[in-house]
Structure 1
């Protein structure tokens, strides 16, 4: 699909989704035609891979150790193994946080989980991204909450509750695009593209092998492009359901943190790159003094000063509105400007979980050494 057409379609879909939830917060993601189609595709794919595996085993063992059945069966078995159902695996984390490391933060997480009606995640992770995420991994669906310190560090206390409330919303509502019934449809086309991708060069020393590689190369390229196109199409379908899940998580954030804090968080997310740049600039000033950087790091306090100064220098609301035009068929999140606008369209809600300034400061003290490490990472990544 040409870029201009996909952009117009994305804008229309975003507008339609916004209209569906304007004024009335959603409860939780519902089954849609897209989600049902993904689930059906996943079932067919899993059944096909299972049938291929059984056929391969039958070929190999039917007249063992006959040469030709083994030559035919083993490659098919390897393909079936490559296409086996695999769930999103837990990634290595920058730092895994434990209750003894940050008791005040964990007390806040306990309160947010209780108010959201869910349990605490199995793992609390920190990283140096201007972001936060929540997900379930593996067959046991172990939950991980990842808190990006640059983002968390510059938020007001109640915005922190909104951020955590939003992420806990994914545990409450689930993510239709990454559920057990839909992951095979999302992942299999990419695996197939990797399987058929031709090598960058013809490396065989044998002339016949080189000729065979050259003869197969255009077919491999064609198949790879076909599977990549299929993967892009599936992602476009899945992203719509993921965006619905984001609005549902925003609704829970409003219920826990209140309307004002949640709208302010969404507004900040529209200028994430600029805020991260302000953090990097502040951190470069800290790193310029080796003694300060090593022994007396200011933590997130200097980040907040830099971010507040940047906010005061621009029209943040105008930037939020401008971000609405950044629609894409393949983005998992609705434009942050739309999210800020839709939160303001919902009935005003006072917070049910309040984080005091004193407790927020205690959390900063618990995370101080991690802020220092994250600051170095921000500077390195911005270099």
Structure 2
């Protein structure tokens, strides 16, 4: 699919989804035909992988220790292991935050979780990304909330509530991106593409081996491209359901943090690249003075001042227009510009969870040493 055609299709799908939710906030992501198909495909793939494992084990044990059954069974077991369902992990942890580290922040998390109708995540982690995320991982389905300190640091008190409410929304709204039932369908085609991908060079050291590699090479290329084509198609289908979940999480943010704060948060997302650059420039100035950077780091205060100056200078509507155009069939988030505008279309809502300026300042004090560490990461990564 050509880039121009895929972008036009993505724009049409984005517009259709916007129209479906314009004026009326969604509640939960509905079960769509695409999601049913993904679950069905996952069931078939899991059954096939289980069959490979059982058949491989049977070959190895039926006439053990005969060479040929073992030689046939081991590759089947290895293939089944490579294609096994994954339940995800929460990746590298920059810092795992404890309640004793930030009691005011955890008190806010308690309030937002109660208002959202869910429990606290099992882990709250920090990093230096301009982002936040929530996910469910592992066989025990442990929940992790990740807070990107540059993003959290520049937000107003109510924007912080909106961000947390949005992330908690992924725990309560049946987000298909957290669904173990669709994971095999999304991952398996790309795993198969990796398995059949031909080597860039012929590795055999004898003539017959090289001839065999050359003979197999075109078939490997065709299979790899076929699996990639299927894989990106499945991802495109799954992305639409994830985008619906994002709108549902935004609706929860509006209900808890209010319309104004949620819209302001989404405008910041639409200008994220520029805000990141602004924060990095400020932080490089801080890091240029070692004494200030190490012992008297200003925390998020200077980031917020720079962000406020940027917000005052930006043409919001132009930024939202630009964000709407930045779309793709494979993006799992709707354009931030559409998200901000759809919040405007919903009935205005006052916040039900309010974070006071004083409590927000206490949270900054609790996170001060982590802001200093994030500042070093920001300055180095932007250098």
TM range (shorter): over 0.9
Of 260-269 and 190-199, the range deviating more from structure 2: 190-199
Give distance in 2, aligned partners of 1:66 and 1:189: 33
Alignment correspondent of 1:96: 96
In structure 1, the residue matched to 2:72 is 72
* CA distance in structure 1 between the partners assigned to 2:297 and 2:139 by the alignment: 41
- Structure 1 counterpart of 2:12: 12
Q: CA deviation at 1:301?
A: 0.4
Residue equivalent to 1:84? 84
- In 2, Cα distance between equivalents of 1:196 and 1:90: 28
Work out the CA distance in 2 between the residues paired with 1:103 and 1:207: 69
Distance 1:224 1:88 in 2: 24
Deviation at 1:190, TM superposition (A): 1.4
What is the DSSP-based 3-state SS (H/G/I as helix, E as strand, rest coil) of the residue aligned with 2:163?
A: helix
Comparing 257-266 with 77-86, greater Cα deviation is found at: 77-86
Aligned partner of 1:134 in structure 2 is 134
Unaligned runs of 5+ in 1: none
Q: Which residue of 1 aligns with 2:253?
A: 253
**Secondary structure of the residue that 1:106 maps to in structure 2?**
helix
Which residue is 1:380 aligned to?
A: 380
SS of structure 1 residue aligned to 2:145: strand
Asked if 1:331 is matched to 2:331, the reply is: yes
Distance 1:178 1:200, change over 3 A: farther
CA RMSD of the aligned region, Å? 1.0
Structure 1 residue aligned with 2:282: 282
Q: Which runs of 4+ in 1 moved over 6 A?
A: none
Give the secondary-structure state (helix, strand or coil) at the position aligned to 2:65: coil
State the match for 2:193 in structure 1. 193
1:168 paired residue number? 168
Can you list the C-alpha shifts for 1:182-206, whole angstroms capped at 9, x where unaligned? Answer: 0000111111111112222223323
Aligned equivalents of 1:211 and 1:380: distance in 2? 49
- Residue of structure 1 equivalent to 2:180: 180
Which residue matches 2:240? 240
1:114 matched to which residue of 2? 114
- Count of aligned residue pairs for this structure pair: 383
- What's the CA shift for 1:232? 0.4
Q: How far does the alpha carbon of each residue in 1:65-118 deviate from its partner, in whole angstroms, 9 at most, with x for none? A: 222111111111111111111111221211100000000000000000000000
SS state of the match for residue 133, structure 1?
Answer: strand
* d(CA) in 1 for partners of 2:72, 2:319: 60
Instruction: Tell me whether 1:229 sits opposite 2:221 in the alignment.
Output: no
What displacement does 1:11 show? 0.7
- 1:23–1:345 contact (8 Å) kept in structure 2: yes
C-alpha deviation, 1:174, in angstroms:
2.8
Residue 315 of structure 1 aligns with which residue? 315
Q: CA deviation at 1:380?
A: 1.5
Superposition deviation, residue 377 in structure 1 = 0.9
Partner Cα separation in structure 1 for residue 380 and residue 226 of structure 2: 38
Give the CA deviation at 1:149: 0.4
**Alpha-carbon contact 1:35-1:177 (below 8 Å) kept:** no
TM superposition score normalised by structure 1: 0.98
The residue matched to 1:118 in structure 2 has which SS? coil
